[in-house]
Structure formats: C-alpha cells, structure tokens
C-alpha cells in the first residue's frame, strides 16, 4: 500500500485528497520507486484545475526522487537499490511508492541529494531545452540579450544561473522587488518588476532600442502582447506556459508587424520522448549542478499531507525557486 494524492474531479486545492492505494509489480519497461522527496510544479496546478485535463480519478505530480525497489522486464539502465530521480509521465508523483515507465527515470549521481534531485528534474530539464534547444534560427551568441519571465520561480532561478554560465545576458521579470533581487543574485543581468514597470519599454531601454533575440514566456495571457514588442526582427517567441491563463488566439498576419519573428510553443515531454534524449539532457543538467554553476534553491518544503497549502501558495505567487513535498 502507498499513501497517494488523488483528485476525483478537476477543481481547487481542496480536490487534492490523500488516499491509500495498492501498488503492484512493474510490468515490461516499468520500475517501482519508493520516493524520498517530491517536486511541486506549476503543471500540477494545470492538471488539478483541468486546464490540462486528466482522466478521473487521477494522480498528480510529475517529479520526484527515490530508490528503485523493483525493475520490470527490458529495463537495462536501472537496478534495485539505485538512487534515481525523474520528470515523467503519467501524473502521479505525489505518493510514497509508485510503478511507472522507466524511460524518464535516471540514476541520480551520488553527489546530488534526494531533495535536490526532486527539486530539479522537471525544472532543470526545462531550462536545459529552452536555453540549448529552443533556439532562434540565427542562434544565440555570448552577450546576446534574452528575456525570461517569472525569473524568480522554479524554472526561472535555474534559467538565470544557466544563462549566465552560457554567457547570455538574461533580463528577468518578476512580480516584486524582492523577487527581482533574487533573480539578480542568481545571474540575471537585469531584472524588471512587471507589476510596477512597463517591461517592454524597459527592455527597449536596456537593449539600446534593439530588443531581445528570445522571449521565454511561461506567464501567458498577461505577458503575451508586450512580449512580442520586446523581440528584435527574426527573434523567437518561446511560449512554454500559462501561469496567468492561456494566450488568446491570434492571427499569424499580425506577427509581421514585429519583424518576421518566429513563434513556438514548447513542451518538455517532446524533448524527453526517448530514453537517449532524456539521459543526454539529464547528464547535462547533472554536470552543470555538480560544477556549482547552477545551484538548486529549495525555498519551500511541505509535508505531503499539506499538499493543498502548497498548491495555494504556488498559485498565490508566494513561492520562489523550487518547492518540495517531504515524506516522513
């Protein structure tokens, strides 16, 4: 048996209920993992509310670390007793023990703690592909300006540090002056409080009127229009989330006024759709964390039983950096 968080219908944090579930043996291509820590992510909110619909009853959560307890047929990269961590499907990481596909589960290097592993896989792999793969056609060179919204959040704080390590000038936005300071302390070259300042005007000022090569936008509805104004010609609008709500439909023709820009909507799970790709990206993440160039900031910890409060705080923009759910 395992304690697990389930929802029976989409809705508010009160839908997150602790239940006891039976956990079986892994089938072909699967593993059973006993969790040590669980990562909280904004996608868990989309799953809970139904913005990204789930079949009911549903587990929630896509990130965790733990110890491999059993290995199904055909799984060659993991063995019983291995320390492991993952960003993986299907949702259901808010639990003590689970059976899941092995494809996205990676061995965790000894130097990385279980808590750090749970706090960094989904967010770190996202920062990895955004900065290294979702690139503009012209490429990104050292010194280039990029704009990263919600820079003091989970993905954001990792992106600030990694962008600096890559020699990029990351302009971060955040919802308070304290969050802006946090982004600056973690490698952002500039920070803008988008609740009090016109971020498009400030970006133009910072870049000498030229604009940025890429906007990384996970805020969505509230930032979309002004984000387009921040791009230089041939720039890339990389949309990857909707924390403020989904972006309204738009006519492709209107993009022309911003100068032949490109628009993409990126999802982590297309980047980690094979074992090889998952491992290559994870190795890159493990290396940058081991080098100390990227530090994983766990700013909030909640016992699993307080998961409702964790969701309330995440949605109320009270969190910074990474958040984990702890198990006794």
Nearer to ligand NDP, 206 or 310 (CB): 310
**CA 27 to chain CA mean position, Å:** 28
The helix (run of H) or strand (run of E) holding residue 323 is strand 322-326
Q: Binding to ligand NDP by residue 104, rule CB under 6 A?
A: no
Q: Which residues are CB-neighbours of 38 under 8 A, at least 6 positions away?
A: 61, 63, 64, 93, 94, 95, 118, 304, 324, 325, 326, 327
Q: Using the rule CB under 6 A, which residue among 33, 43, 105, 272 binds ligand NDP? A: 43
SS3 state of residue 300: strand
Nearest CB to ligand NDP, comparing residues 32 and 123: 123
Query: What phi and psi, each to the nearest 5 degrees, are found at residue 320?
Result: -135, 160
* Contact between 41 and ligand NDP per CB under 6 A: yes
Choose which of 126, 128, 186, 278 interacts with ligand NDP (CB under 6 A): 126
Using CB under 6 A as the binding rule, the residues of this chain from 267 to 306 that contact ligand NDP are 267-268
- Residues 109-126 as b/e (b if ≥16 CB within 10 A, e otherwise) read eeebbbbbbbbbbbbbbb
The phi and psi torsions of 157 (rounded to 5 degrees) equal: -65, -30
Q: Which stretch binds ligand NDP (CB under 6 A): 17-25, 76-84, 291-299, 311-319?
A: 311-319
Structure tokens at 207: 């870049």
The verdict on 315 binding ligand NDP (CB under 6 A) reads: yes
Q: Which stretch binds ligand NDP (CB under 6 A): 71-79, 137-145, 241-249, 294-302?
A: 241-249
Q: Footprint of ligand NDP on residues 148-187 (CB under 6 A)? A: 150, 152-156, 174-175, 179
Q: Which residue is nearest to ligand NDP (CB)?
A: 153
Q: Name which position in 4, 36, 42, 97 contacts ligand NDP (CB under 6 A).
A: 42
Longest dimension (CA), the chain: 60
**Contacts to ligand NDP by CB under 6 A:** 41-43, 122-123, 126, 150, 152-156, 174-175, 179, 218-219, 222, 240-241, 243-244, 266-268, 315, 317, 319
């Amino acid at each position: 048996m395992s304690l697990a968080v389930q929802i029976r219908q989409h809705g508010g944090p009160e839908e997150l209920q602790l239940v006891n579930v039976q956990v079986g043996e892994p089938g072909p291509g699967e593993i059973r993992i006993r969790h040590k820590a669980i990562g909280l992510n904004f996608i868990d909110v989309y799953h809970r509310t139904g913005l990204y619909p789930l079949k009911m009853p549903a587990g929630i959560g896509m990130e965790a670390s733990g110890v491999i307890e059993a290995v199904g047929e055909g799984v060659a990269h993991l063995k019983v007793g291995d320390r492991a961590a993952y960003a993986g499907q299907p949702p259901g990481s808010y639990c003590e023990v689970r059976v899941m596909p092995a494809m996205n589960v990676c061995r965790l290097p000894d130097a990385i703690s279980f808590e750090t592993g749970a706090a960094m896989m989904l967010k770190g792999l996202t920062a990895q592909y955004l900065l290294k793969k979702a690139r503009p056609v012209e490429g990104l060179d050292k010194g280039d300006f990029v704009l990263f919204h919600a820079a003091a959040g989970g993905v954001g704080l990792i992106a600030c540090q990694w962008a600096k390590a890559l020699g990029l000038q990351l302009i971060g936005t955040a919802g308070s002056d304290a969050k802006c300071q946090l982004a600056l302390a973690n490698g952002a070259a500039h920070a803008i409080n988008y609740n009090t300042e016109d971020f498009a005007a400030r970006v133009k000022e910072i870049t000498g009127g030229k604009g940025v090569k890429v906007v990384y936008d996970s805020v969505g509805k509230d930032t979309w229009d002004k984000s387009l104004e921040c791009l230089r010609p041939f720039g890339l609008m990389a949309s990857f989330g909707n924390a403020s709500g989904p972006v309204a439909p738009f006519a492709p023709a209107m993009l022309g006024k911003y100068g032949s820009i490109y628009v993409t909507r990126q999802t982590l799970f297309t980047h980690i759709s094979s074992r090889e790709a998952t491992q290559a990206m994870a190795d890159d993440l493990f290396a940058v964390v081991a080098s100390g160039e990227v530090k994983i900031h766990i700013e909030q910890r909640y016992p699993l039983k307080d998961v409702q409060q964790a969701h309330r705080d995440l949605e109320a923009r009270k969190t910074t950096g990474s958040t984990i759910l702890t198990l006794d």
